[in-house]
Amino acid sequence: MSLYDRLGGPLAIRSVTESFYRRVLKDDLLAVYFDDVDMDRQVAKQAAFLTMVLGGPSEYTGRDLRSAHRSLDGLSDEHFDGVLAHLAEVLREAGVGESDICAVGAVAESVRADVLNR
């Protein structure tokens, strides 16, 4: 059974995604990058990403990930690490165990190069 199913499927993912996005928006280091984004679209994209990293049914290709982040000035490993830390914390709050959080983090790592345009 995937972590996605254990968490409770699409409705639970929606709620986890909102908590995750809320944490990101409250983080001064990251919030500036979200000043002008459409919140609905952002949550939809993050839900698709979380579905993928949690092993749910996903068509996520991350194809536009590189182009979406390319124009963001000053994006660095510090920002990417910050987002991963929020992801881990939100999963911890949802009752996910440390070994699963590590596994999710490893999957999320796979998009670092795209996000940071390397």
**Residue 40 in contact with another protein, rule: CB under 8 A:** yes
User: Which stretches does DSSP call E strand in 1-118?
Assistant: none
Question: Using CB under 8 A, which of 6, 9, 14, 114 touches another protein?
Answer: 14
Nearest distance from residue 22's CB to another protein, in Å? Answer: 6
CB 68 within 8 A of CB 103: no
Question: CA 51 to CA 37: how far, in whole Å?
Answer: 21
- SS3 letters for 106-117? HHHHCCHHHHCC
> Which of 6, 27, 43, 62 touches another protein by CB under 8 A?
43
Among 6, 9, 12, 18, binds another protein (CB under 8 A): 18
Q: Least distance from C-beta 113 to another protein, angstroms?
A: 30
Contact of 105 with 54, CB cutoff 8 Å? no
DSSP state letter for 75: -
Q: Which of 5, 8, 22, 97 binds another protein (CB under 8 A)?
A: 22
List contacts with another protein (CB under 8 A): 14-15, 18, 22, 25-26, 39-40, 43
